[in-house]
Structure 1
């Protein structure tokens, strides 16, 4: 009985985190679509943090924007659906991932679904954030990419930390 409740709570937590990431992304994009004109620049904090609106018909850095429609569908819609479903399936059925890894994957899946939704529904992904902190300058991005980057850093950090922890434990034995 306790195992079933724990599994249900785990499933609920995973799906809730995925939905939270999708929601943050889609709400922010909806606000931008309704309030910012294409290419309008709004300086939130000087030139360091700028809001603008660009519709990207490709992937990162507009890669694939010039592909034939069928290739775009295959590479930017069908392939990501398959990858995201496999990743979601893995974290739902495999219980030996660390909490950090699971959270990271939920962020990656949520961000991926957010951009995938845009591609399917609107034919493009709405990007609207630019950061310029001197040594760190970004291209234009959106909240889905923030989720994907944070998730990737969590997964990478968990993998590195778990490797160091395992090596430390081996030395102790």
Structure 2
């Protein structure tokens, strides 16, 4: 498959699954009422987030919100899009990771532009051992992309170290 087409399709796929999931949540769940999926360990709870990650920045004045939650993320996403199209040396795993980050980022920025807030609905609580804030598919895409980049970077360093030791 053409590299540029692959990039566009993967970004669009990430945006689409996020937006479809949010449409389903807004049309089927009751606002702020939890639905147990796997007991109290995994729940769906529809909330609207006016801030960023875990509601941070929701109490900022409108000008700061515009700068930090719309303009700055849009500029960063634009640069990352430019970077992945221009940098042909990226390995496939890193390319997938960047596409997940971009797709999730665009999906949440879209919500901020259209709805002035972001729809969140996943909640995980593993009995105090691990507990999340309420998040959405876009957040999951961004986090997955970051983890893939982290692991691909670690494995790339390990592989280059092995190659240099052999030489």
Return the TM-score normalized by structure 2: 0.97
Q: Which residue of 2 aligns with 1:64?
A: 57
Structure 2 residue corresponding to 1:35, chosen from 28, 34, 38:
28
Contact 1:54 1:126 in 2 (8 A): yes
Structure 2 residue corresponding to 1:98, chosen from 85, 91, 96:
91
Structure 1 residue corresponding to 2:163, chosen from 148, 157, 169:
169
Structure 2 residue corresponding to 1:149, chosen from 107, 129, 143:
143
**What is the SS of the residue equivalent to 1:51?**
strand
Superposed counterparts of 1:14-163, under 5 Å: 14-134=7-127, 135-163=129-157
How big is the shift at 1:133?
Answer: 2.3
Q: Return the alpha-carbon distance in structure 2 between the equivalents of residues 149 and 74 of structure 1.
A: 22
Contact 1:38 1:52 in 2 (8 A): yes
Q: Return the alpha-carbon distance in structure 2 between the equivalents of residues 23 and 133 of structure 1.
A: 29
Contact 1:98 1:158 in 2 (8 A): no
How big is the shift at 1:136?
Answer: 2.0
Question: Deviation per CA, 1:44-102, whole angstroms, max 9, x where unpaired?
Answer: 11001100111000001211111111111111001000000100110001011111100
Q: Return the alpha-carbon distance in structure 1 between the equivalents of residues 130 and 143 of structure 2.
A: 15
Q: Return the alpha-carbon distance in structure 2 between the equivalents of residues 64 and 120 of structure 1.
A: 16
Q: Return the alpha-carbon distance in structure 2 between the equivalents of residues 70 and 137 of structure 1.
A: 32
Return the TM-score normalized by structure 1: 0.94
Structure 1 alignment gaps of length 5 or more: 1-5
Question: How many pairs does the alignment contain?
Answer: 166
Q: Return the alpha-carbon distance in structure 2 between the equivalents of residues 58 and 17 of structure 1.
A: 26
Q: Return the alpha-carbon distance in structure 1 between the equivalents of residues 37 and 66 of structure 2.
A: 35
